[in-house]
Structure 1
Amino acid sequence: MFRLRSTMLSRLLSPSSAFPVFSIQRFLSAEAPLITPKPSFAVEDYLVTTCGLTRAQALKASAKLSHLKSPANPDAVLAFLDGVGFSSADVAALVAKDPHFLCASVERTLAPVVFRLTSHGLSHAEIARFVSLGLSIFRSRSAVSNLPYYLSLLGSTENLVLFLKRSSSLLGSSLEKVVKPNVAFLRECGLGDCDISKLCLSSPWLFKMNPERVQAMVERTQELGAHRGSVMFRHVLKAVAFLGEEKITAKMEYLKNTFRWSDAEVGTAVSALPAMLARSKDMLRRRSEFLISEVGLEPAYIARRPALLTYSLEGRQRPRFYAVKFLKENGLLKRDPSYYAIVKVTEKVFMERYIFPHKEAAPHLAEDYATACRGEVPARLMFA
């Protein structure tokens, strides 16, 4: 019976089908009398034998389905899923994630949802992939009605799947009053479709904010030195949206004091590396102490090269600094490289430039450098 029902459903739900939604309803109504409820319906056994769940999964899921007294509706849902193209493994994964899916009405919810999505050009395979995420939104016709817009906004099915995994709640936001005005405003700020897609994936909460708040965040972003249309505008806006006004102000003040930066210098650094706003105070303090007090770098030098704050202190910066300082102290370098030039190169390049050429003159350097990379600086690399 499932195979007959699923075959019929597959034809009815096909984008090329001439049957409207009410034909699906008639079909389901006509079929309903064929399903005879068992006198005693064991939900847990049904989940194992019919849905393919493990006994442990079924035990957990059955607690949410204790109200079911008959397999009639679950049977209809399973036949529907089979008609859409779900495999047995897909069904088991979906029911384990969302047991209540078995309680959804095929004629009032699931069939109209699939019909709407296929009318927007989505294939059954794509729809099955979305439904398999186990999100309750696919039992809400109003939320699903927004899905085609997000598919267009994000540019690909892959991005839409990623978006749904991270922030499916955004589908419930008003497109006309909130999301579309925010998208239009961001386009006015110079963001292209690709930038907006990336921002929507990384910072979806930004799009469901009151448009006035988004405009205020853009103003704050520009105050930090990232102007509309600049390469860093999207990244700084993301940081502002994530942290909020008070935290941004406090962190900017901390950066100024810790690195001895002027207002202009902290703006330069943050606009080039907005991620530093999310770094811990302890991490920033330790890098300041090392770069300014130990290496001897000027604050302005660091502000123009904020990437220095992203490199590992123990596993990269400190070992390389001591190794190159050893070479300088022993007159083994013909040129004096800048600190940034030493730190930014890959490990392979660093070894080829500063370690391997000195095997004979400094036979212990390679071993000492390797030890320093493990967090223990040998005495031979230490200088007063």
Structure 2
Amino acid sequence: MQTLKSSSIFSSFRLLKPNSFIVIQYFSASSVTAAPNPPLFNYLVKDLNFDEIQAFSISNRFRKVKSLEKTQSAVNFLQSLGFSNAQIASSARLAPQILFADVENVLRPKIKFFQDLGLMEPHIPKFFSMNSTLLTCSLDKKLIPSVQLLKKALGNNNEDLFKVFSRCNGFIARDSILKLSRNIEYLESCGIVGSQLSMLLRRQPRIFRLRESTLRNLVSWALDRGFSTDSRMLVHAIHTMNCLSEKTFKKKWELLKSCGFSENDCATMFRKAPGLFRVSEEKLKLGIEFFINAAKFNKDVVASHPFLLMYSLEDRVIPRYRVMQIIKSKRLLKKDRSFLYILDQTEIEFLEFISRFTDDVEELLIAYKAHLFPTSSSSEEAT
């Protein structure tokens, strides 16, 4: 085995697998002739500005490629679509074989397929630099049937289809159509259909890539904790548990208990708002402290309205609390409004509520948006 020695202290090393043996080889940019495919390596580095390690890896993988004609043709095609050298490098990092693909028979038809789905030309480079593995899939055997399956689950919404791809790199390309189909069918059998299914697919496409046995275990876990296939919260429980490890989930549970909530309280909070357990520990602590100590809510109220802890303290809870304190101090309301009711209002509804107090509306708006204005100390620092 020949070891490539570096003449520079800044040389890089990489694990390679020639002839199935893992070796550590040192690579030097000053020794182009040491690359397995010098012409290809030289083209990638000098013409496309690939970093030497990536270029070396590609030239090693495609060492038998003698002509650069097909590679140059593929690159010219990508550049004609607006790909920068950096985006070509990103695409090749995920799927280097696209550099050797036939333009007319492979690349152009697949890109046209996505254009027909609504992918606008200015967005093509960014989309495929993150999803270049799609260009390695068979159009007829993989892309078309998979996309049809996804579109059906998404209600034929092409915009949502591209959101799914953006959230899950390699989606479809690395998964079988059968797995995708079976997972969709299983979730539908659990009552997760229509808008709930499309929501889960948009937010957590990785769930649809799970082994069917893993997905079944995830659903069973949720059912064991009080959810049912009739509950609209089941999909949110599955979403949450797919985002968290069991250790993290237990840690959040113990945090709630340490704040004075009982086991039954924790179970109730999870069933009513599974997404609560995706909230950071810091936000949970601050929220509980505010509602119990500042807003003087009873723990039972917080336990029965766990969504309170999911609201933004800075942008929603505290600003509205300030406004209500002013309204109460000035006795502007003939009948008290529940702070729960106030928090549940949309932004438009709350602003309409404030606008009723015409004589005090300016003061109330300033109190509501105070967090958006720089403090005097920060203004002084800026000057």
Same structural fold, with TM-score higher than 0.5 when normalized by the shorter chain: yes
Deviation at 1:133, TM superposition (A): 0.3
- RMSD over aligned CA atoms reads 4.2
**In structure 2, do the counterparts of structure 1 residues 259 and 226 end up closer, same or farther at CA, with 3 Å as the change threshold?**
farther
Structure 1 residues 223 and 349, CA, compared in 2 at 3 Å: closer, same or farther?
same
1:316 and 1:373 in contact (8 A); partners too: no
Cα distance in 1 for residues equivalent to 2:285 and 2:319:
19
Is 1:213 aligned to residue 214 of structure 2?
A: yes
Within a 5 Å distance, the mapping from 1:77-92 to structure 2 comes to 77=74, 81=77, 88-90=80-82, 92=84
Q: Does 1:313 align with 2:313?
A: yes
- Pairwise mapping of residues 1-384 of structure 1 onto structure 2 (< 5 A)? 43=43, 47=47, 58-60=48-50, 64=54, 67=59, 70-77=67-74, 81=77, 88-90=80-82, 92=84, 95-99=88-92, 100=96, 103-106=99-102, 111=105, 122=113, 125=116, 133-134=128-129, 135-138=131-134, 140-141=136-137, 145-155=141-151, 156-170=157-171, 171-176=173-178, 178-258=179-259, 260-263=261-264, 265-347=265-347, 349-350=349-350, 352-354=352-354, 357=357, 359=359, 367=366, 371=370
Q: How many angstroms apart in 1 are the aligned matches of 2:202 and 2:211? A: 18
| Superposition deviation, residue 72 in structure 1 | 1.7
For structure 2, which runs of at least 5 residues remain unmatched after alignment?
Answer: 1-38, 60-64, 152-156, 376-383
Q: Which moved more, 1:342-351 or 1:235-244?
A: 342-351
- After superposition, the C-alpha distances for 1:133-166 in whole angstroms (9 at most, x for unaligned) are 0344246446984323321222154444333333
Q: Name the CA shift for 1:209/1:144 in 2 (closer, same or farther; >3 Å).
A: farther
C-alpha distance 187-70 of structure 1, shift in aligned 2 (>3 A): same
CA deviations on 1:51-99 (whole Å, 9 max, x unpaired) are xxxxxxx3236875575775422344368x5xxxx77234557635435
Once the 2 structures are TM-superposed, how far is the Cα of residue 284 of structure 1 from its aligned partner? 0.9
Q: Tell me the alpha carbon deviations over residues 201-223 of structure 1, each in whole angstroms, 9 at most, x when there is no partner.
A: 32232223232221121122223
Cα displacement string for residues 324-356 of structure 1 (whole angstroms, at most 9, x for unaligned residues): 234334443210111112223345544554576
Query: Sequence identity, in percent?
Result: 21
Question: Which letter does structure 1 place at the counterpart of 2:50?
Answer: K
Q: CA deviation at 1:308?
A: 1.8
Mapped partners of 2:88, 2:303: distance in 1: 53
Bigger relative CO (Cα 8 Å, ≥ 6 apart): 1
Taking the aligned partners of 1:157 and 1:364, their CA distance within structure 2 comes to 46
Letter in 2 for 1:172: R
The aligned residue for residue 55 of structure 1 is none
Deviation at 1:188, TM superposition (A): 0.8
Cα 1:320–1:160 shift into 2, 3 Å: closer
TM-score (norm 2): 0.65
SS where residue 269 of structure 2 aligns? helix
Whether contact under 8 Å (2:322, 2:367) holds in the other structure is no
Could you list the per-position Cα deviations for residues 24-74 of structure 1 after superposition, in whole angstroms to 9, with x for gaps in the alignment?
xxxxxxxxxxxxxxx999737995xxxxxxxxxx32368755757754223
Query: Does the 8 A contact of 2:45 with 2:55 survive in 1?
Result: no
For 1:126 and 1:350, locate their aligned partners in 2 and report how far apart those are by CA, in whole Å.
40
* 2-structure distance, mates of 1:325, 1:73: 71
Q: TM-score, normalised by structure 1?
A: 0.65
Deviations 1:186-205 (A, max 9, x none): 11101225533432332232
Q: Does the aligned pair in 1 maintain the 2:40–2:68 contact within 8 Å?
A: no
Please tell me the residue identity of whatever aligns with 2:174.
G
Which SS does the other structure have where 2:336 is aligned?
A: coil
Relative to structure 1, the CA distance from residue 96 to residue 293 in structure 2 (aligned partners, 3 Å threshold; closer, same or farther) is same
Q: Give the letter for the 1:303 counterpart.
A: A
- Superposed CA deviations along residues 213-251 of structure 1, whole A, max 9, x for unmatched, are 211211222234432142222122110111133322332
Aligned to 2:81, the other structure's residue is in SS state: helix
Q: 1:125 to 1:298 in 2, by over 3 A?
A: same
1:369 to partner: Cα distance: 5.4
Instruction: Kindly indicate whether the alpha-carbon contact (under 8 Å) linking 1:154 and 1:160 is maintained by their aligned counterparts in 2.
Output: yes
2:84, 2:240 → 1: CA distance? Answer: 40
Which letter does structure 1 place at the counterpart of 2:80? Answer: S
Structure with max Cα Rg: 1
Stretches of structure 1 that go unaligned for 5 or more consecutive residues are: 1-38, 48-57, 377-384
Whether the 8 Å CA contact 2:71–2:99 is kept in 1: the answer is yes
Task: State the partner residue of 2:16.
Answer: none
Specify whether residues 114 and 193 from structure 1 end up closer, same or farther in structure 2 by C-alpha distance, changes over 3 A only. Answer: farther
Number of residues of Structure 1 aligned to a counterpart in Structure 2: 315
